[in-house]
Amino acid sequence: MTNGYLNDVYVKPWCRIAPYAIGLSVGYILCEVYQRSNTLSWNSLIPRTTIYSRYHHFKQVLTWTFALVILSLCIFGTYGDFSGHPLTRQNRIAFLTLSRLGWSIGLCIIIIACFAGHGGSKNDFS
């Protein structure tokens, strides 16, 4: 990393406000849902129908796969730089712009899935 990137992008708080705002919003929503759990449940928000019950496992797998793909893209998005195929300037700008946002969205999907009880063995790590 160069000094220009560090001073111009990395230390500026507005470059990291989107992931912070997403995490804060999801945390607030989950806190409200948890506090109202006596009167409000996930089943009342998403009513179960026969179609919902039939494809429930498929939706869980799809959700977890989507979250893990987003997180993997954020981790391995610059692999080309290290394998001899450097990113173009436009691709690097897109990666640096969207990677933090993608990371927070991927984590929020996993957090919501675990909060809803669809984390499987991941829910046992509390």
For the cut 90, the answer to whether the pLDDT of residue 103 exceeds it is yes
- Is the pLDDT score of 3 beyond 70? no
At CA 87, angle to CA 85 and CA 93, rounded to 5? 170
Confidence of residue 104 (pLDDT cuts 50, 70, 90): very high
pLDDT at 15 > cutoff 90: no
Would you place residue 74 in the very low, low, confident or very high pLDDT band (cuts 50, 70, 90)? very high
For the cut 80, the answer to whether the pLDDT of residue 18 exceeds it is: yes
71 neighbors 107 (Cβ within 8 angstroms): yes
Residue that the structure tokens 């450097």 belong to? 86
Q: What is the pLDDT of residues 27-38, one digit of tens each?
A: 998 888 877 765
Q: Which residue has the higher pLDDT, 74 or 85?
A: 74
pTM of the predicted model as reported, rounded to 2 decimal places? 0.75
